[in-house]
Amino acid sequence: MPTTTIRLPDDLKARVAEAAKRSGTTTHGFILAAIAEKAEHEERRADFNQAAENRYAKITTSGETISWQEMRAFLEERLAGNSVPAPTPRQRVR
């Protein structure tokens, strides 16, 4: 496993050590978990942004979309536990 050195300000180093102690792990383990969590967060953000770009490209290509009012009503019904058909996309009004 390669080694990476990071320099932490004294106050942050103390906070990390205390947080690691509270969570029952080592400082090293705590830092690894924090880096892994941040990397996963950024990967999810990138996936979310790509999905949004893909959806926007589909809208601009097809010209079809669902109004916010229809989608919100659909989502509220689903959250309430009701089985309702998804709204049908229609050509955008320009």
Local confidence pLDDT in tens for the 94 residues of the chain: 899 999 999 999 999 999 999 999 999 999 999 999 999 999 999 999 999 999 999 999 999 999 999 999 999 999 999 999 999 998 876 6
Q: Give the pLDDT of residue 32.
A: 97
**Cα(20)–Cα(88) distance, integer angstroms:** 51
Q: Give the pLDDT of residue 1.
A: 86
Q: Give the pLDDT of residue 94.
A: 65
Q: Model-level pTM? A: 0.69
Query: By the 8 A CB rule, do 17 and 6 touch?
Result: no
Q: What angle do CA 17, 4, 25 make, to 5 degrees?
A: 30
